[in-house]
Chains A and B, each alone.
Chain A
């Protein structure tokens, strides 16, 4: 039998206890906040499988205190037994879903294209438009971020009305591009600033034009920044409600407007509202989980210079 020769001193042991209690505190707070962040999503998913008595009794855990039913999804026409049937609600939902996808994706793509070009130009060349030099031009673009949507909303309402662009997707796409463009320029300026100019110089010496160098050499290197700004734009435009509510009425309505129009007439049919809300947020939850590092990269771009 061996006896332990080296012992922790009394001071070391008290330190250890303190460390353990510190750990417990840290993990405790982390778990509480994770619960706060996730519970509403969990609540929405489970509610979409509940029936009226379950809602009223406040049952929370499926298979434990209630049996999941497809009620909410049936009202959307998306449950297994109704998926093959005709369903007007599902048609409506898919139409809105498609509108949202088209609008969000095209606006984000347009913004990333315009924004990358602008950010590249501003990070490489000196411009002078009248009295405006590079810092002024940058400020001009970034200052659009301050503009509250409500200032543009009513003039655009009148303008689009006279251009016959009310309730069209293209009208929404243009406005959404405008709202996310400053964010894209911000992220991309940071990204291009970190790419050394020697790369283009080498390409130019080899006979590429400046646009050729930009398209074939620089853009592939800046791809992570482009993905980050694309995803941030996608999140913002997919969730946009204010412009969509004002400028669309029946044809180009997006998903948030559909969700909002259903909340008024809810009564106690929580299960269908829950199913609808969950279907509306699901794409972004998937994007958030799968592409989390790009989102974080995009948001961190402005923070650390």
Chain B
């Protein structure tokens, strides 16, 4: 590891003896050997070659944790000051790698097998059968199509959030009250929201919204029986919780714009409308794009409200990919097929987000 270009220069005068280095290496390899030994023993036990009476894979887990600790300690032992620096990043890296990379690899194995957790047969490798099943599963494609609609709704959310942020940034009284009030929906759990709004306020007979609509002359208002309206209601509920999030980010961006720019524009004779489109909006582009990208990431995880309010109905019209896979598992406990769907979804997301980020990058920094 080189230290040139560090923001913080530390002069190190470590002389680490050969013996100390050897001890550090021994620690890492020794604990790795222990981990391998325990893992092999457990695997043998699992496959019935040996009878050791393990009930779970916990011993391997403990050995793995021990190896992680030894790896961190040996960094300091073998490399002194540089090792101490590595120690800032190493624990989190180990944590994320073991919590993401291993399960993902494991997920890839599961995805190509027929594995029903409820049946005693266990895992059976079945090649691309799951892929073929996915190709012919109209509900999965339907869920993907719904996700496109849900994502497009972000444009409207963004417009509303921008408007609210502009108002909050104007010279108003009781700004703190409005800020807190606007922020509150973000604090509520989606599950509580799905009862508070989806199941009681939007209830057909006694809900206040239905009552209001009846007053206004709509007879028999129903919110979750026709596909389009049900989808719209899900969008509205999700927008209600997340508009404050975009609003706060945009507000922070607005407050960072120096006043002089708008004043100069006014002196030059620009009206409020021109000022917004020629000064404020272009300056807000980077913030807007960050806010929208993060919002898209959150939107792609949308599930709680759908699971609790409509559970995908009517006829899969409101299904998101996540809620669909959730029910796929709950109803049929088919781990293999569900994992394949999830991994396909991940691949689609990664490709789409990469393209989107590239496009946003080019758009924000045009080359002349």
B326 near A: Cβ within 8 Å? yes
Provide the residues of chain A in CB contact with B86, threshold 8 Å: 121, 127
Chain B 82-105 per-residue mask, 1 if CB under 8 angstroms from chain A, else 0: 001111110111011001100110
B235 near A: Cβ within 8 Å? no
Contact at A150–B187, with CB atoms within 8 Å? no
Contact at B167–A29, with CB atoms within 8 Å? yes
Residue of B nearest to A120 (CB): B88
A223 near B: Cβ within 8 Å? no
A216 near B: Cβ within 8 Å? no
A44 near B: Cβ within 8 Å? yes
Residue of A nearest to B81 (CB): A210
Contact at B92–A281, with CB atoms within 8 Å? no
Instruction: Report Cα–Cα, A287/B189, bound state, in Å.
Output: 13
Query: Within the complex, which residue of B84, B182, B322 is in contact with A33, where a contact is CB–CB below 8 Å?
Result: B182
A197 to chain B, nearest CB (A): 5
Q: How large is the interface on B (under 10, 10 to 19, 20 to 34, 35 or more residues)?
A: 35 or more
Task: Please judge, given known A-B contacts A144-B96, A150-B303, whether A241 and B189 are in contact too, CB under 8 Å.
Answer: yes
A26 near B: Cβ within 8 Å? yes
Contact at B191–A285, with CB atoms within 8 Å? no
Query: Within the complex, which residue of A43, A126, A137, A175 is in contact with B6, where a contact is CB–CB below 8 Å?
Result: A126
B276 near A: Cβ within 8 Å? no
State the majority secondary structure of interface residues on B.
helix
Provide the residues of chain A in CB contact with B252, threshold 8 Å: 296, 299-300, 303-304
Number of A-B contacts (CB under 8 A): 314
Instruction: Report Cα–Cα, A204/B245, bound state, in Å.
Output: 40
Provide the residues of chain B in CB contact with A141, threshold 8 Å: 92, 96
Contact at B57–A163, with CB atoms within 8 Å? yes
Instruction: Report Cα–Cα, A259/B198, bound state, in Å.
Output: 14
Chain A 96-122 per-residue mask, 1 if CB under 8 angstroms from chain B, else 0: 000000000000000000110110111
Contact at B195–A263, with CB atoms within 8 Å? yes
Considering only residues 1-28 of chain B, those with a C-beta below 8 Å from chain A are 1-10
Interface size on A, residues (CB 8 A): 104
Chain A 231-265 per-residue mask, 1 if CB under 8 angstroms from chain B, else 0: 00001001101100110000000011101100100
B233 near A: Cβ within 8 Å? no
Contact at B179–A242, with CB atoms within 8 Å? no
Instruction: Report Cα–Cα, A193/B358, bound state, in Å.
Output: 25
B77 near A: Cβ within 8 Å? no
Query: Within the complex, which residue of B117, B181, B346 is in contact with A151, where a contact is CB–CB below 8 Å?
Result: B346
B349 near A: Cβ within 8 Å? yes
Query: Within the complex, which residue of A34, A152, A242, A270 is in contact with B303, where a contact is CB–CB below 8 Å?
Result: A242
Contact at A274–B249, with CB atoms within 8 Å? no
Contact at B95–A148, with CB atoms within 8 Å? no
Query: Within the complex, which residue of A36, A124, A149 is in contact with B7, where a contact is CB–CB below 8 Å?
Result: A124
Contact at A304–B256, with CB atoms within 8 Å? yes
Spot the interface stretch: A62-70, A83-91, A153-161. A153-161
Chain B 245-279 per-residue mask, 1 if CB under 8 angstroms from chain A, else 0: 10011111100100000000000000000000000
Instruction: Report Cα–Cα, A27/B168, bound state, in Å.
Output: 10
Instruction: Report Cα–Cα, A154/B178, bound state, in Å.
Output: 42
Contact at B185–A37, with CB atoms within 8 Å? yes
Query: Within the complex, which residue of A30, A124, A127 is in contact with B1, where a contact is CB–CB below 8 Å?
Result: A127
Contact at A302–B290, with CB atoms within 8 Å? yes
Contact at B92–A211, with CB atoms within 8 Å? no
Contact at A209–B84, with CB atoms within 8 Å? yes
A276 to chain B, nearest CB (A): 8
Contact at A38–B181, with CB atoms within 8 Å? yes
Chain A 166-200 per-residue mask, 1 if CB under 8 angstroms from chain B, else 0: 00000000110110010001000000000001001
Instruction: Report Cα–Cα, A278/B188, bound state, in Å.
Output: 10
Instruction: Report Cα–Cα, A124/B170, bound state, in Å.
Output: 39
Instruction: Report Cα–Cα, A94/B226, bound state, in Å.
Output: 39
Chain B 54-76 per-residue mask, 1 if CB under 8 angstroms from chain A, else 0: 01111001000000000000000
Considering only residues 181-226 of chain B, those with a C-beta below 8 Å from chain A are 181-197, 199-201, 205-206, 208, 211
28 contacts between A and B (CB under 8 A): A30-B172, A30-B178, A37-B185, A117-B88, A117-B92, A125-B3, A127-B85, A145-B294, A146-B349, A148-B321, A157-B329, A158-B115, A162-B56, A163-B58, A164-B57, A178-B95, A204-B10, A241-B304, A242-B304, A256-B190, A281-B188, A281-B189, A287-B187, A292-B176, A292-B180, A299-B249, A303-B252, A305-B286
Sample of 7 further A-B pairs with CB below 8 A, known A127-B1, A256-B304: A123-B7, A128-B1, A154-B338, A162-B56, A241-B307, A242-B322, A263-B195
